Amino acid sequence: MGSLRILVADDESVVRELAHIWLIRAGHAVSCVTNADDARQQLRDGGFDLLICDVRMPGADPLQLIRELSKTQAMTRVLAISGGGNLLRGGDCLKLAQDMGAHRVMVKPFTESEFMTAVNQTVSQAV
């Protein structure tokens, strides 16, 4: 797999920083944002192969962003991640993300190996 343009949207700085390091190390071009509104703007500018998106962030609904993306930019793959929240377990959040159009999901926390495997599987799935 060649170099990809990847957008990471997560409100947790440690997740963004680790994802950035791991993806850069793998040779990808990476942009990071802290919420769905900023992700929407970046995606509007186009050119991303993959969106890695936390499904629980303050502000605009990340699940709605995933739904919009699946309709407007079907070539952009989506890896949804979640550690859950006050009302839903991580797996429940991720089931909703799949229903909205995410191509793959994974529960936080995860290791570098687990993360990179999920990234590779997400982008290698047939469109």
Encode pLDDT of 12-28 as tens digits.
999 999 999 999 999 99
In the chain, domain spans: 5-124
Q: Please provide the CATH number assigned to the domain covering 5-124.
A: 3.40.50.2300
Residue 47 clears pLDDT 70, i.e. is over it = yes
Alpha helices in 1-127 (DSSP H): 13-25, 36-45, 62-72, 90-100, 112-124
Residue 32 C-beta-side C-alpha neighbours within 13 Å:
17
**What pTM, to 2 d.p., does this model score?**
0.91
Q: What pLDDT is recorded for position 126?
A: 55
**pLDDT band for position 97 (cuts 50, 70, 90):** confident
Higher pLDDT: 83 or 30? It is: 30
Residue 55 clears pLDDT 80, i.e. is over it = yes
Report the alpha-carbon distance of residue 84 to residue 107 in Å, rounded.
Answer: 8
